[in-house]
Amino acid sequence: MSALPIITLPDPLLRKVSKPVETVDAELLKLADDMLETMYDAPGIGLAAVQVGVPKRLIVLDVSEDDDTPRPMTLINPEVLKIDGERTRMHEEGCLSIPDFRLEIERPASIVVGYLDREGKPQELPAEGLLATALQHEIDHLNGKLIIDFLSRLKRDIVVRKFKKMAREASA
Ligand code: K1U
Ligand code: ZN
């Protein structure tokens, strides 16, 4: 397994809608394993393939709180099948593609996600708490949506301008 570079704002690839995975093969599973290593290295609790420059509908997560018992998850072509519209949950979210930025976001507290597992079999995952939040964050990435989209236009533009300036300075 090898850790991959994570793309950051304002890379335009982060705004692309990722393509469905057609075939679950060894190459895709190697990408998932490299993404898990990248996520653990960062460290983070989730990662979408587009964040390592591959716009495919593939995400990895590990929301286990005990570092000694990792629970890596690989979800291929994940989609939200059900939302409990009644209950919401607040969480201060970070994003590995927007370093040093955090934002309190309210999302549905309870969802059911459909996906293909590493064997290409369809599965359903009921999720609550941090797992529900992280799944929604990662599925947003697959649709080109970022946590700054929960800000007003004005505040979002300020953040984007800051990251554009940092990118200019880094390449000068
Ligand atoms: O997709 C990403 O950018 C990764 C992101 C996922 C996420 C974080 C918080 C709420 C929802 C989704 C991260 O993992 S940011 C880093 C982070 O939250 C964290 C890092 C170390 C320990 C615990 C959390
Ligand atoms: Zn993110």
Residue 14 has pLDDT above 80, yes or no: yes
Identify the residue whose C-alpha is closest to ligand 1 atom 22: 44
- The Cα 76–Cα 44 span in angstroms is 19
Tell me what pLDDT residue 68 has: 83
93 lines ligand 1 (CB under 6 A): yes
* pLDDT tens digits, one per residue of 96-130: 999 999 999 999 999 999 999 999 999 999 999 99
Task: Please state whether 160 falls in left (phi above 0), alpha (psi between -120 and 50) or beta.
Answer: alpha
Residue 62 in contact with residue 127, Cβ under 8 Å? no
Quick one: which H or E segment has residue 26?
Answer: helix 26-41
Per-residue pLDDT at 66: 79
CA distance 135 to 59: 9
Active site residue 138: yes
For a ligand 1 pocket test, name from 6, 8, 130, 137 the mutation site with the most ligand atoms within 8 angstroms of its C-beta: 137
Could you tell me which residues come within 8 angstroms of residue 82 by beta carbon, excluding any fewer than 6 positions away? 111, 112
Question: What are residue 58's phi and psi, to 5 degrees?
Answer: -140, 130
Tokens of 82: 């059900």
The pLDDT of residue 151: 98
**103 token code pair:** 């934002």
Among 37, 79, 138, 169, which one carries the catalytic annotation? 138
pLDDT at 131 over 80: yes
Residues with CB under 5 A from ligand 2 (ion): 95
Position 84 scores a pLDDT of 85
**pLDDT of the residue at 1:** 85
DSSP bridge partners of 127 = 111
Beta bridge partners of 6: none
Residue 11 confidence (pLDDT): 97
What residue type is 82 in one-letter code? K
Whether the Cβ atoms of residue 51 and residue 97 lie closer than 8 Å to each other: yes
Q: Are strands 110-116 and 122-128 parallel, antiparallel or unpaired?
A: antiparallel
Tens digit of each residue's pLDDT (9 = 90 or more) over 44-80: 999 999 999 999 999 999 999 877 899 999 999 999 9
Which pLDDT tens digit goes with each residue over 15-42? 999 999 999 999 999 999 999 999 999 9
CA distance 61 to 59: 7
The response to whether residue 9 sits with its C-beta less than 6 Å from ligand 1 reads no
Nearest atom within ligand 1 for CA of residue 141: 1
User: For residue 133, which atom of ligand 1 is closest to its CA?
Assistant: 11
What is the whole-number distance in angstroms between the Cα of residue 130 and the centre of ligand 2?
Answer: 14
